[in-house]
Amino acid sequence: MRWLFSFLVLALLGAVQALSSSGSRLLVVLEELAEKDKYSEFWDDLRGRSYTLSFESPKNDKLSIFKHGERAYDHLILFPPKTKGLGPSLTPKLLLEFLKKDGNVLLTLSADHPTPSAIVSLLLELDIHLPTDRNALVIDHFNYDTVSAGEKHDVLLVPAPKALRADVKNYFEVDGTIAVPRAVGQGLGNTTPHLAPILRAGSSAYSYNPKDEAEIVEDPFAVGEQLSLVSAMQARNSARFTVVGSVEMLQNEWFDAKIGAVGSKEQTTTANRAFAAKVSEWTFKETGVLKVGRLQHYLNEGKKNVNESAVGVPEHNPGIYRIKTDVSYTIEISEYTSTHLSPFVPPTADDVQLEFSMLSPFHRLSLTPLAQTANSTIFGTSFVLPDQHGIFNFRVNYKRPFLTSVDEKRQVTVRHFAHDEWPRSWNISAAWVWIGGIWVTVAGWIAFVALWLYSEGVEKGVKKTQ
Amino acid sequence: MATSPVDPLLKQLTGPNTRSLLRVIILLTIAAAAVSSRLFSVIRFESIIHEFDPWFNFRATKYLVQNGFYSFWDWFDDRTWHPLGRVTGGTLYPGLMVTSGIIYHVLRFLTFPVDIRNICVLLAPGFSGLTAFATYLLTNEMVTSPSAGLLAAAFMGITPGYISRSVAGSYDNEAIAIFLLVFTFFLWIKAVKLGSVFWGALTALFYGYMVSAWGGYVFITNLLPLHAFVLICMGRYSPRLYVSYTSWYALGTLASMQIPFVGFLPIRSSEHMSALGVFGLLQIVGFVEFVRNQLPSRQFQTLLRALVLVIFAVSFGGLVLLTVSGVIAPWTGRFYSLWDTGYAKIHIPIIASVSEHQPTAWPAFFFDLSMMIWLFPAGVYMCFRKLTDEQVFIVIYAVLASYFAGVMVRLMLTLTPIVCVASAIAFSQILDTYMSIDSPTPEVQANGTPASASVAAASAMLPDGLRSTRNPIVGIYSYTSKLTVVAASTVYLMLFVMHCTWVTSNAYSSPSVVLASRLPDGSQHIIDDYREAYYWLRQNTPENAKIMSWWDYGYQIGGMADRPTLVDNNTWNNTHIATVGKAMSSREEVSYPIMRQHEVDYVLVVFGGLLGYSGDDINKFLWMVRIAEGIWPDEVKERNFFTARGEYRVDDEATPTMKNSLMYKMSYYNYNALFPAGQAQDRVRNTRLPAEGPQLTTIEEAFTSENWIIRIYKVKDLDNFGRDHGSAVAFDKGNKKKRAHKRKGARTLRVE
């Protein structure tokens, strides 16, 4: 029986041998299937990373991204439709539903055709703004490809993206320059924390409609680095949605095109292929995926925690503590990179933090890496519980751009001192006066009673003689 | 002549043994009547815990029985007052739970496997039998008449004023506390009469039990010192009083301080200071008496009297000073509201919002006490005639309790025992006078020596012409008048019994968890929405799902649904209740962050509009607003919930604040769907509702009970894509988002 079971497990393992952490069924929605050959290298790359690709036209009536209420595919690549929209099976509502069910979407835009309003409203829901002028594309008069767009300046040459901030990891580092032909620039909303630009236009770029014959652009949609060429949205459930401003940059011809920068004679090859791989890796959750392993909190009694059992065993953390006790907290975090789990190392300027909160945090502590196993880092800290009873949460709320969110909340009760946990009165030196007082009173009373009884007896004797 | 067994009784030939046997049988019958008249609710409905507070007591008892006494003592309850939790072991009166726990374990020991719920349901009726017995003892101490005690016991057994808090299932502190109250008073009277340390100590023991059972112990704490004080003022100081009072006070205070909830209150709070003051006064008076016995000089005595007054004044002044400086805790709000009935309404809405804290309406007195309401003054008057030490107690008790019963509905309970005792005294006086069969034989008096001087004087003054005045006999000897009065009394007694039974069965036997109504054909229809909803919660929500509701339902949710609640009927934290009030009375955008912060998963509201159930949340809503306004006067304003003409409306003319409040929305959400368009009708407030029903964005309907009494809403999680709920709902409905075309002012740039 056991061999059968292990065989089954092996078979299952073989079946799910994808590089993505969330499945390998990939649907490419392409209006004209003939066009797919233009992107064959991109497909080969994806197949090389063991995705099963299905190609469908949005006009296909039987197309459905759901089956029996569940996702039929794990990932979705949407090509810009030439007609008005993506059809009834890919409405914005269904696409958001797909994201809600942990599917990932790579949406590509093209400046060749006006972006359909369905896609515009979908992006608007995610606080990604497209130029109001549907034919606008991004132009840069200083960083364009001299080979292919010497006149129009609409093929941008953008250096490989650097880390967004010092405390954010960079998953899109490639060697060389990325060519972005005829891109639709996106403006990202300023309020939502779910958005992050992957590739930003140079500081001299601006959005412009070439069909608009005006000499001067007044009040452009966005300029400079505010224009995002490739942007990422990661929902609260860590579903990923990437907008690639230019579908052309994924084409075979741009994967190894020769480009020339302004002011330099030599021609180089684009890094588009590597960049496309990085973007698709990230979007389909091959990189930047965090996984929480064992999470422990325990009363720190000077000894090492006993709960050292294997991963997968349900947590045996205590549900109740007493105020003012020393508590340790450890959390095991791994990062998934393409093939395996590796120890997660936060960026240098960043910390994984633990909150111990009731209504508001009573402690907010940086977790220090205590140890590393083969595929995880164990972060931990110990602290003294506050002098406040109540229902508290150990919470690690680690949400960073490009990393799947970690929000681990463990509810514990912090109780008051029980009646027999206080120090005894004789251990408190200040109480000795009062203890002394009690015993003096007791002794005095006994002495008084003894005296009283003694003298009473004499009186009775006297009375009797009378 | 065959002598039937009843004859010796009729002829009063029986010895004391037979009489005491009879007395025991009568008392047992009274106890049985007391118990059985409280079982209406069990027979009509089922063996179920009633109302609100009893559900907590029941839950606490279950905890005690399961986990043992010490863990009950140290119980930290993390399922109430989320996320604050409640140090339950230290903030309750454990007497009730411990009593049922002991009964449970004794029965288990005797191999009676009784469910703890049945013990809890039947505890109050059981103790009412004991209360009747305690009343018998207390009354017997007051008068010599043997019938007064039995009458008082019978009155106490069935009077609605006491039944109201002790029907089967009403598992509240009062269930045992009234027995303890009456019994403590009996022991006190006994102690004062005998001047015995033993009885004083027994008083203290039962006083300690009373403290562990009910917050109303303060009544004893103040009544006994008042009695002692009045006796001293009447010049009736005696060593008996000294011994009984000091032994009660010293032991009783120590006993009361063992209850964690009471702790150091007896020496720190103002409510307990009178007992301490009288204790000190007694020492001084005792000392003065001692000195007076030693030095029999009149002038010295007056000097000492002056000294007593000075010391009393000084200590009283010191007390005031300590109170003002804060060493002694100042009077609590509940205490002020005893003197000024309008105080709570202005300053502590949370106290005023409880219906049983309202002043009593005068028909309630007749409703609860029936004919005793006019016998009671007569009994008190009779106590005035002799005014022995114990009758002084009756008078003081009567005056104080009548006042308090007039101030707060629920203090009717403390008035009831003394009313029973006083009326029994009056009634037994009537019966004793009119029921004695023996009448003097005129022949004996005519032939014999002149009976008494008064009779002789009377006969001398009256003319001899009338037969009745020839041989005048003072007293009531006419069978006609005897029969009339006795018959009238019997009718009154029977009416009393009928009234009590009627009130009990109609007014006080509803569990309020289960509602009963009559169908057109007269058959009973049970409306069981509360339990339906609570069991839905129990079976369909995660074990740790936090439920937000108004505090009235906190105990029931904890007891029946077994889910953590934000607030419950133990109203110790006004701010937390006000937080819930604010969440209920604000717009969704304001409420949602509050609910998120408190980790609320479900919101429960009670809505009576469909059924005409008037005790619903919309009718309680103004209290939520008021309590919230007390903490956030800038954010919640009661005025905004009234129309310009000062009306509280829910229809088309309701104010925008009212219509946008979470409570209004939750109550009327989807209610239109039940009616034809535009015909939605609220049967409690008898108004037609707006044609357009309210829309909810941050919460979604999870459950609505059969008769729509309970509606449960689930609080939505944050939107997956970081939108606000309003726009997320609008998007799901298919409304296109308007693009922000017109930017005002400078463009906000994104900074990474």
Question: Per the CB < 8 Å rule, is A415 touching B720?
Answer: no
Please give the Cα distance from A391 to B78 (Å, whole number).
6
| Partner-chain residue, chosen from B260, B721, B727, that has the shortest CB–CB distance to A194 | B721
Cis peptide before B83 (omega within 30 of 0): yes
Burial A144-155 (b: 16+ CB within 10 A, else e): bbbebbeeebbb
Considering only CA atoms, which of B575, B576, B534 is closest in space to residue B558? B534
Considering only CA atoms, which of A256, A298, A306 is closest in space to residue A276? A256
Please give the Cα distance from B637 to B651 (Å, whole number).
20
Please give the Cα distance from B720 to B731 (Å, whole number).
13
Placement of tokens 């930290």 in the chain? B76
Beta strand spans in A84-212 (E) = 104-108, 128-129, 137-140, 155-159, 177-181, 186-188, 195-200, 205-208
Q: Which CATH class is domain A14-283?
A: alpha beta
Q: Bridge-partner residues for B700, per DSSP?
A: B714
Number of Cβ atoms within 10 Å of the Cβ of B739: 12
pLDDT > 90 in chain A, percent: 43
Phi-psi region of B26 (alpha: psi -120 to 50; beta: other; left: phi over 0): alpha
pLDDT at A208: 83
The answer as to whether B640 is a domain residue is yes
Write out pLDDT tens, residues B155-184: 999 999 899 889 998 899 988 999 999 999
Q: Where are the domains of chain A?
A: 14-283, 289-417
Considering only CA atoms, which of B274, B152, B281 is closest in space to residue B224? B274
CA angle, residues B566, B570, B573, in degrees to nearest 5: 65
Please give the Cα distance from A211 to A133 (Å, whole number).
10
Number of Cβ atoms within 10 Å of the Cβ of B578: 22
Least confident of A30-39, A299-308, A314-323, B299-308: A299-308
Considering only CA atoms, which of A434, A36, A135, A125 is closest in space to residue B733? A125
pLDDT > 70 in chain B, percent: 89
Q: Which residue out of A391, A411, A442 would a mutagenesis test of the B interface target, given it has the greatest number of B Cβ atoms within 10 Å?
A: A391
pLDDT at B323: 77
pLDDT at B437: 67
Considering only CA atoms, which of A108, A90, A105 is closest in space to residue A22? A105
Q: What is the mean pLDDT of residues B594-623?
A: 91
Coil, strand or helix at B33? helix
Question: Per the CB < 8 Å rule, is B87 touching A416?
Answer: yes
pLDDT score of B328 more than 80: no
Helices B479-507 and B146-158: angle between axes, nearest 10 degrees: 30
Three-state SS string across A220-245, please?
CCCEHHHEEEEEEEECCCCCEEEEEC
Q: Bridge-partner residues for A326, per DSSP?
A: A384
pLDDT at A6: 60
Write out pLDDT tens, residues B228-273: 999 998 888 999 999 999 999 999 999 999 998 888 888 888 788 8
pLDDT at B197: 92
Q: How confident is the model at residue B736 (pLDDT cuts 50, 70, 90)?
A: low
Question: Per the CB < 8 Å rule, is A320 touching B76?
Answer: yes
The amino acid present at B428, given as its one-letter code, is: S
**Chain B hits for A347, Cβ within 8 Å:** none
**Which residue of chain A comes nearest to B79, CA vs CA?**
A391
Please give the Cα distance from A215 to B401 (Å, whole number).
96
The answer as to whether B379 is a domain residue is no
Q: Which residue out of B572, B721, B731 would a mutagenesis test of the A interface target, given it has the greatest number of A Cβ atoms within 10 Å?
A: B721
The full DSSP string for B333-396 is HHHHHHH-TTHHHHH-HHHHTSGGGSPPPHHHHHHHHTTHHHHHHHHHHHHHHH--HHHHHHHH
pLDDT > 90 in chain B, percent: 45
Judge whether B58 and B49 are in contact, CB under 8 Å. Answer: yes
pLDDT at B2: 45
Coil, strand or helix at B21? helix
pLDDT at B370: 85
Write out pLDDT tens, residues B630-639: 899 999 888 8
Please give the Cα distance from B752 to A434 (Å, whole number).
65
Nearest CA distance, B29 vs chain A (angstrom): 45
Nearest CA distance, B542 vs chain A (angstrom): 14
Q: Which residue out of A95, A125, A169, A438 would a mutagenesis test of the B interface target, given it has the greatest number of B Cβ atoms within 10 Å?
A: A125
pLDDT score of B451 more than 50: no
The answer as to whether B669 is a domain residue is yes
The answer as to whether B40 is a domain residue is no
What ipTM did this prediction achieve? 0.87
CA angle, residues B313, B319, B324, in degrees to nearest 5: 125
The amino acid present at B44, given as its one-letter code, is: R
Q: Which residues contact B732 (CB under 8 A, 6 or more apart)?
A: A93
Mean pLDDT, rounded, of chain A: 86
Q: What is the mean pLDDT of residues B609-626?
A: 89
**Which residue of chain A comes nearest to B734, CA vs CA?**
A93
Considering only residues 712 to 751 of chain B, which have any Cβ-Cβ distance to chain A shorter than 8 Å?
Answer: 717-723, 727, 731-732, 734, 736-737, 739, 741, 748-751
Question: Per the CB < 8 Å rule, is A419 touching B720?
Answer: no
Pairing of strands A104-108, A240-244: parallel
Q: What is the DSSP code (8-state) at residue B559?
A: I
Placement of tokens 């649907």 in the chain? A27
- Half-sphere exposure for A287 (CA within 13 Å, toward CB): 15
Name the residue with higher pLDDT: A145 or A436.
A436
**Which residue of chain A comes nearest to B545, CA vs CA?**
A411
Please give the structure tokens belonging to residue B242: 């000294």
Q: What is the DSSP code (8-state) at residue B86?
A: B
Please give the structure tokens belonging to residue B93: 């009166």
Give the total number of structural domains in chain B. 1
Mean pLDDT, rounded, of chain B: 85
Coil, strand or helix at A367? strand
Please give the structure tokens belonging to residue B260: 């964690």
| Partner-chain residue, chosen from B721, B736, B748, that has the shortest CB–CB distance to A235 | B721
Question: Per the CB < 8 Å rule, is A413 touching B76?
Answer: yes
Considering only residues 73 to 92 of chain B, which have any Cβ-Cβ distance to chain A shorter than 8 Å?
Answer: 73-74, 76, 78, 82-85, 87, 90
Please give the Cα distance from B271 to B256 (Å, whole number).
14
Q: What is the mean pLDDT of residues A309-336?
A: 81
Write out pLDDT tens, residues B13-26: 556 788 889 999 99
Say yes or no: A124 contacts chain B, CB-CB below 8 A. yes
| pTM of the entire predicted model | 0.86
Please give the Cα distance from B322 to B14 (Å, whole number).
63
**Alpha-helical regions (H) of B37-113:** 40-44, 53-73, 95-109
The amino acid present at B204, given as its one-letter code, is: A
CA B128 to chain centre: 15
The answer as to whether B720 is a domain residue is yes
Write out pLDDT tens, residues B392-442: 999 999 999 999 888 888 888 999 999 999 999 999 988 888 887 666 555
pLDDT score of B305 more than 60: yes
Please give the structure tokens belonging to residue B508: 């006080």
**Chain B hits for A121, Cβ within 8 Å:** 736-737
pLDDT score of B448 more than 50: no
Please give the structure tokens belonging to residue A344: 């997660």
pLDDT at B306: 82
Please give the Cα distance from A389 to A399 (Å, whole number).
29
**For residue A420, what are the CA distances in angstroms to A40, A388, B86, B424?**
75, 18, 19, 50
pLDDT score of A358 more than 70: yes
**Chain A hits for B597, Cβ within 8 Å:** 359
Q: Which residue out of B67, B76, B737 would a mutagenesis test of the A interface target, given it has the greatest number of A Cβ atoms within 10 Å?
A: B76
Please give the structure tokens belonging to residue B693: 């029903």
Question: Per the CB < 8 Å rule, is B737 touching A121?
Answer: yes
Please give the Cα distance from A382 to A298 (Å, whole number).
9
CA angle, residues B429, B435, B438, in degrees to nearest 5: 120
The amino acid present at A398, given as its one-letter code, is: Y
Question: Per the CB < 8 Å rule, is B83 touching A196?
Answer: no
Considering only CA atoms, which of B204, B202, B197, B213 is closest in space to residue B249? B204
Write out pLDDT tens, residues B684-693: 888 888 888 8
Question: Per the CB < 8 Å rule, is A193 touching B78?
Answer: no
Say yes or no: A100 contacts chain B, CB-CB below 8 A. yes
Question: Per the CB < 8 Å rule, is A226 touching B723?
Answer: no
Domain at B686, CATH number: 3.40.50
**Chain B hits for A187, Cβ within 8 Å:** 750
Nearest CA distance, A48 vs chain B (angstrom): 32
Coil, strand or helix at B293? helix
Dihedral pair phi/psi, residue B21, rounded to 5°: -65, -45
Write out pLDDT tens, residues B500-511: 999 988 888 888
Please give the structure tokens belonging to residue A96: 């958001």
Question: Per the CB < 8 Å rule, is A320 touching B78?
Answer: yes
Placement of tokens 């990202």 in the chain? A188
Least confident of A28-42, A260-274, B313-327: B313-327
Q: Which CATH class is domain A289-417?
A: mainly beta
Burial A169-179 (b: 16+ CB within 10 A, else e): bebbebebbbb
| Partner-chain residue, chosen from B73, B723, B736, that has the shortest CB–CB distance to A121 | B736
Please give the Cα distance from B350 to B279 (Å, whole number).
35
Q: Bridge-partner residues for A138, per DSSP?
A: A207
Nearest CA distance, B596 vs chain A (angstrom): 10
Judge whether A232 and A200 are in contact, CB under 8 Å. Answer: no
Q: Find the domain containing B600 and state its range.
A: 573-751
- How many CB pairs lie under 8 A apart between chains A and B? 97
| Partner-chain residue, chosen from B76, B727, B734, that has the shortest CB–CB distance to A416 | B76
